[in-house]
Amino acid sequence: MSNAIALPSARHGSAMNLRFIDWIWHIRGSVDLPPGQTSEEAFARLEPLLRQPGTSQQRGGEALRFTKIDPASQDKLAVFENGLLQVEQDSAGPVLRYHLVSRALLLCFLAPLLFLAFAQLTIAVGQWQKPAAEAAAKAKTDKKKDAKKDDVRPMNPIDKALGAPAPEKDGKKPDRKGDKYSPTSAYVFASLFALLYVIGRILEARLVKARLRKSLLGAE
């Protein structure tokens, strides 16, 4: 009966065996159950964890499948869209095996690629705009050359008295938003999401194991 419910996104038997890469967004593991604990008892203990808004469950013998649609932020399993929980008899006793699927982990894994694409786009737009930017800069320089020296605006006496630094004499106005064609921020975010993925893949795997263990082995 354990195969009565399958994960829809596991794609068992598909032409390409996703098992080699699906660890990116699939989390598998097991928790040893106390001797004699039946699947009924185990799933009853997991009920508070699964009874959440947007979560539907399907039971089939020793297996339970859950699916989540728009889970709440504080749902302890919010990072997983669906999962299969199975109680099996091991040589050492009963064990709960879980196989959870997280689209959030997959998207986070792919996010660096998106931001690298943004970086390339920024570079490309910068190249495309280069002649226009150079022409604008030249026009500004010419305008400044024509302008008289008294174009440098005087400071208010209050600011002078308080000792605020005087504005630049050449009337230079720095770009207050930074270089808009710099790909640096896109590279920073690509790295950030790569780091977040590693943290998430390790953290969420540990958290779900700890939560399942706590629910299954916690005091009656």
Which residues of the chain form contacts with another protein (CB under 8 A)?
A: 53-54, 70-74, 78-79, 104, 107-108, 111, 115, 118-119, 121-122, 125, 151, 153-154, 156, 158-159, 162-165, 167-168, 173-178, 180-181, 185-186, 188-189, 192-193, 196, 199-200, 203-204
Euclidean distance between CA atoms 108 and 112, whole angstroms: 8
Instruction: CB nearer to another protein: give 94 or 112.
Output: 112
Tell me which DSSP letter residue 156 carries. P
Find the helix or strand (DSSP H, E) in which 192 lies: helix 184-217
For 21, the 3-state DSSP assignment is coil
What are the φ and ψ backbone dihedral angles of 73, each rounded to 5 degrees? -60, -40
CB of 139 to another protein, least distance (A): 9
CB of 20 to another protein, least distance (A): 25
Residue-by-residue DSSP string for 96-155: EEEEEE-HHHHHHHHHHHHHHHHHHHHHHHHHHHHHHHHHHHHHHHHHHHHS-GGGSPPP
Instruction: CB nearer to another protein: give 98 or 115.
Output: 115
Instruction: CB nearer to another protein: give 21 or 125.
Output: 125
CB of 204 to another protein, least distance (A): 6
Instruction: CB nearer to another protein: give 36 or 176.
Output: 176
